[in-house]
Amino acid sequence: YQDEVKAEEYLDELEFLAYTAGGEVLKRFVQKMEKPNPKTFIGTGKLQDVKNFVEENDVGVVIFDDELSPAQQKNIQKELDCKVLDRTNLILDIFAQRAQTSNASTQVELAQYQYLLPRLAGMWTHLERQRGGIGMRGPGETEIETDRRIVRDRIALLKDKLKKIDRQMGVQRGNRGALVRVALVGYTNVGKSTLMNVISKSDVFAENKLFATLDTTVRKVVIGNLPFLLTDTVGFIRKLPTQLVESFKSTLDEVREADLLLHVVDISHPSFEHHIDSVDKILEEIGSADKPTIMVFNKIDAYEAEEIEEDDLMTEKTKAHYTLEEWKQTWMAKLNGDAIFISALNKENFSEFRKLVYEKVKEIHTTRFPYNS
């Protein structure tokens, strides 16, 4: 049962990703297997089901939640006779659509090529095996070798370009002086941009889609005469392609160089605990796990608590109206770092939130300028 719930949650997210990329999901298929079929990922019977559905409904794209091997992708595509994507493809596609600055599009393009390169290699091994792999120099191989060289050249070029951008951004960061730096981190769609808007009274693009924020925005914020810099970062997501983590270096540098992290959590989401884990994992990967952190539990207006009805054993979800004191008694308040419970939308508990941020920034500021304060 647990596995089924998990599968549904994963597919909810995949559906949301597909919607973000501009697609409409007609049907979901789930299959429980010991291990994936090496040729077609799913079993032959299931593949036939999918094929029938694709034909009957004139489906354009079939998306898999897991990463497919190049051979699997090819085999499935041949069988279904339509476009086949995996989760990484989809995420890269969304990033490509939403990249607005040359920095962002360069980072996405690099990630796309890095995703492609081993796949070209994979296709090559595949061919080699088919032909017996002994001393053949067929046209196919030359073609792939040429492709690989083109891709490698392009990767080198993009890396060069990014290095220049990185240096520029490093200089820009350096120019910001000694102000305390605060970075918003969190899973995608938790309300980071909304929070940024409310804190800095600015107008950052917020919408109910995944990855609305691709480029970092930096704002100078003043709370009680204390100025600091607030950065919005790209939303993290489960199974974020490693190519992306790497190529979004300059974006993640904002996190790396921050003095304080505001880890925003969408508490109304059924899998928010998994989201926290995913974000922590990425923070660890970029060496930022030990930074001072405030856990910001957002969307308390939409939080539904599970309650066991007295007359039957069914659990029911009802809107919870906790006071801040009650929130502070929950297990969430006892996670790493300080915790605050807010609604960025309704500005609930906002003065307490501001106060907490102020205190933390002040602490950092005081250690940095012990004689000024």
Question: Which residues in this chain contact ligand GDP in the complex, by CB under 6 A?
Answer: 186, 188-194, 206-208, 212-213, 235, 298-299, 301-302, 343-345
Least distance to ligand GDP, CB of residue 159, Å: 28
**Which lies closer to ligand GDP via its Cβ, residue 82 or residue 204?**
204
Name the strands in the sheet holding 293-298, side by side, starting at the edge strand that comes first in the sequence.
217-223, 226-232, 181-186, 260-266, 293-298, 338-341
C-beta closer to ligand GDP: residue 203 or 311: 203
Closest distance to ligand GDP from the beta carbon of 146 (Å): 40
For ligand GDP, the closer of residues 235 and 241 by Cβ is 235
Within 10 angstroms of residue 6's Cβ, the number of other Cβ atoms is 12
Min CB(109)–ligand GDP separation in Å: 22
Closest alpha carbon to 305 in 267, 345, 264: 267
Which are the contacts of 213, defined by CB distance < 8 A and separation ≥ 6? 192, 193, 204, 205, 232, 233, 234, 235
Going by their DSSP bridges, the two strands 260-266 and 181-186 should be labelled as parallel
Q: How far is the CB of 210 from ligand GDP (least distance, A)?
A: 7
3-class secondary-structure state, position 277: helix
In the complex, the smallest distance separating the C-beta of residue 124 from ligand GDP, rounded to whole angstroms, is: 39
- b/e 255-271 (16+ beta carbons within 10 angstroms → b): beebbbbbbbbbbbbeb
C-beta of 47 vs 94, nearer to ligand GDP = 94
- Which one, 245 or 302, has the nearer CB to ligand GDP? 302
**Shortest distance, CB of residue 301 to ligand GDP, whole angstroms?**
5
Least separation in angstroms between residue 237's CB and ligand GDP is: 10
Q: Which residues contact 362 (CB under 8 A, 6 or more apart)?
A: 226, 373
CB contact at 8 A, 348 and 342: yes
Nearer to ligand GDP, 205 or 358 (CB): 205
Q: How far apart are CA 155 and CA 148, in angstroms?
A: 10
* Integer Cα distance of 150 and 209 in angstroms: 34
Chain centroid offset of residue 95 CA:
10
Looking at beta carbons only, is 42 or 190 nearer to ligand GDP?
Answer: 190
